[in-house]
Amino acid sequence: MRPTPLRRIAATFAVLALASGAAACADEPQTPSGTPTGAAVSYPVTVGGVTLDAQPQKIVSLSPTTTEMLFAIDAGTQVTAVDDQSNYPADAPKTDLSGYQPNAEAIAAKNPDLVVLTTDANNIVSQLGALKIPVYVASAATTLDDTYKQLTELGALTGHPAEAAAEVQRMKDQIAKIIASVPQRATPLTYYYELDPTFYSVTSKTFVGSLFAQLGLTNIADAADTKNSGYPQLSAEAIIKANPDLIFLADAKCCGQSAEAVAKRAGWAGITAVAKNQVVALDDDIASRWGPRVVDLLQTAADAVAKVPAS
């Protein structure tokens, strides 16, 4: 079964992107927007080319990743509309707006005072600019530092710098703890990371690949990236020959893949990962949104590594 068109579009954007203090205490007084009254937040605020004269109260997010970021830094009450793919958190105000094929008129109808997105599809940034609507572009992260920077900048724009700083620190602390919990091995484990059933994968130079490298894993897709894209398409024969210790499936929801389905593929039953029940079905959403839940992705991978007996 081939991946859905939406999956293909998401993968394409990923390739293009590659080429191109604590939260307020419960008893601390809050302003209507949720900003601690003691926080030194003043406007106008400028981040890159975006200047806001006042704290935004009608934010439109056209990316699941930025939606998750906004809610993680306590700016959720200021978000009035999100795109049709933003399904987390559950109370995000989901609409039929599209981040893949954005429509300026439909976005403007929401009367936003800030639009947040990850890609300038359909030249939407200039279209919204002509309508005097501020736009913050959080391009697909290629490193954890990119994620931390975007959280920090969103915190500044939305009036939640302290909450953003706390979220960044939380992520850093948890990621460091996860990495430290993985024992070193004399012989590194190898893995195959599947984006779709046609065997597109990621290399160590991608966001996900760099995370897994920190767990001491060796990526079998690195050698196959002859075009230096970061997202090579492997062959079934090459994967079987590489015989990875672990297989991670980032196509479970989109494409119905599972450990059982993988085991039924011709010649795959003998792969170490399959034979030893070391095939991990990931949550597609978490695996493709490089915001706060990156911690969850890394924890899932670390748990899988920990279950592999030392040789």
Query: Domains in the chain, start-ordered, CATH in brackets?
Result: 5-14+49-174 (3.40.50.1980), 186-307 (3.40.50.1980)
User: Which of 182-185's residues contact partners 24+ apart within 8 Å by CB, and which partners?
Assistant: 182/215, 182/216, 182/302, 182/305, 182/306, 183/306, 183/310, 184/216, 185/216, 185/310, 185/311
Cα separation values, 234 from 7, 123, 237, Å: 17, 33, 8
| pTM: predicted TM-score of the whole model, two decimal places | 0.86
What does DSSP assign to residue 289?
-
| Terminal CA-CA length for the chain | 35
Handedness of CA 165, 167, 172, 177 (dihedral sign): positive
Report whether 97 contacts 60 (CB < 8 A): yes
Question: Residues near 119 by Cβ (< 8 Å), separated by ≥ 6?
Answer: 13, 16, 17, 63, 99, 137, 139, 140
- Give exposure, 136-151, as e/b (b: 16+ Cβ within 10 Å): bbbebbbebebbbebb
pLDDT tens, N- to C-terminus, the chain (311 residues): 333 333 444 444 444 333 333 333 333 333 333 334 335 589 999 998 999 999 999 999 999 999 999 999 999 999 999 999 999 999 999 999 999 999 999 999 999 999 999 999 999 999 999 999 999 999 999 999 999 999 999 999 999 999 999 999 999 999 999 999 999 899 999 999 999 999 999 999 999 999 999 999 999 999 999 999 999 999 999 999 999 999 999 999 999 999 999 999 999 999 999 999 999 999 999 999 999 999 999 999 999 999 999 87
Report whether 163 contacts 217 (CB < 8 A): no
- The C-alpha atoms of residue 235 and residue 14 are separated, in whole angstroms, by 21
